[in-house]
């Protein structure tokens, strides 16, 4: 189910907007999706999506090269933001790293959700 929620965020937002319009005095500014697929302990190793997820989680996201590139890009983006918006990436080094970790994991999950065949998933 988590993969469908991530994949169909636009449909969920449209549904929430529709429900809010029925109420009349309510509106939905945005939906924040925080979900993870159920842990899969016995995935077949020949499943290409399982293997891709494993490579992303164990090899790419944890690699020094990826982390260095990620930090460099985020620092460049943060430098271009107005001063009052720069804390969106964290107010100190620890929260900066934590925010980046959360963003890349959420992004990876969103990509995997779009690759998941319809009718399957956790």
Backbone angles phi, psi at 94, to 5 degrees: -65, -45
SS (H, E, C) the chain: CHHHHHHCHHHHHHHHHHHHHHHCCCCCCCCCCCCCCCCCCCCCCCCHHHHHHHHHHHHHCCCHHHHHHHHHHHHHHHHHCCHHHHHHHCCCHHHHHHHHHHHHHHHHHHHHHHHCCCCCCC
Average pLDDT over residues 99-104: 92
Confidence (pLDDT) at 40: 56
Q: Using one digit for the tens of pLDDT, what is the confidence trace for 3-59? A: 677 778 888 888 888 888 888 888 888 888 777 666 555 555 678 888 898 899 999
pTM listed for this prediction: 0.60
């Amino acid at each position: 189910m988590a993969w469908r929620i991530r994949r169909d965020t636009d449909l969920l937002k449209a549904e929430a907007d529709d429900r809010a319009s029925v109420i009349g005095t309510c509106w939905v500014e945005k939906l924040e999706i925080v979900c993870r697929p159920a842990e899969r302990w016995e995935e077949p190793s020949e499943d290409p999506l399982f293997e891709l997820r494993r490579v992303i989680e164990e090899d790419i996201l944890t690699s020094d090269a990826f982390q260095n590139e990620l930090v460099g890009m985020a620092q460049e983006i943060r430098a271009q933001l107005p001063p009052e918006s720069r804390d969106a990436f964290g107010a100190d080094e620890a929260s900066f790293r934590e925010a980046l970790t959360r963003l890349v994991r959420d992004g990876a999950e969103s990509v995997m959700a779009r690759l998941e065949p319809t009718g399957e998933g956790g």
